[in-house]
Amino acid sequence: MAHSSAMNLRGKVVLVTGASRGIGAAIATAFAREGATVVINYLSNDAAAQQTVAACLEAGEAAGGDAWAVKADVGDAQAVQSMVDSIALDAGGVDIVVNNAFRPYAFDPESRQRFDDLEWGHYQSQFDGAVGATFNVCRAVLPLMRQRARGSIVNIVSNLVEHPVVAYHDYSTAKSALVGFSRNLASELGPQGIRVNCVAPGLVYPTQGTQGSKESFRESLMAATPLRRLARPEDVAGPVLFLASDLSSFMTGQVLLVDGGLVMR
């Protein structure tokens, strides 16, 4: 299969966090298909991580893609540093990071916690999961990117940051903070040749977080969506690859909404 040079991902080293299943796995597989070397970070599910590695190796066979898994809790700064040190040792550096890991969250409008049910600790927990993990990963990879004066960081947020169609207070507030974090980082790192952007998916089905959602809710969401369906994990991968690649070399600090036109900006 011929590959266009515009994407230019062949041989690039890509770290995808929370990549043993769902959106992360789809992103990892898409990078491997373009010939990238993909490091699949995951928290606990060894079998799922190995399955994703196998899918990446199969997808990347024609283009020379490679993949392996590294178990580490991205909420733990020391674990993240060890992981990144091992990647630098094995692969020589890190070109692209996709911060996809997040604290488990159930996207179910029926059972969501109303504002009065929440403690500040719920917000704090989601903030640690979204912004804290991304902070840890960026702290560890940036010295490697600065050495080469290039790099692309893509952070996964949510279309809820633009339009809280359902008020998932703690989750959406943390993702909104991650947008702010990303833009400040983009502003500081731009002169060093490092870009930071966000991809904001709508409801992605099926994933761990959405499998409990009611069919009636999913149907009403589809009816309100111009493209008349929900996102699949694969739908998120294309925009991530675009932001990671040279095709978007003059874009930084941006949020790409990937939700079938439900939210238009």
The conformation of residue 129, written as its DSSP 8-state character, comes to: I
Residues whose CB falls within 8 Å of the CB of residue 165, separated by 6 or more in sequence, listed in order: 159, 221, 262
Two tokens at 189? 């790192």
From the list 105, 168, 171, 205, the catalytic residue is: 171
- Give CA separation, 215 vs 114, 186, 222, in Å: 21, 39, 10
What string of H, E and C letters represents the secondary structure of 210-242? CCCCCHHHHHHHHHHCCCCCCECHHHHHHHHHH
DSSP run (H or E) holding 89? helix 77-91
Two tokens at 21? 């299943």
Which residue type occupies 66?
D
171 catalytic per annotation = yes
Report the alpha-carbon distance of residue 137 to residue 83 in Å, rounded: 9
Helix (H, G, I), strand (E, B) or coil at 67: strand
Active-site residue set: 171
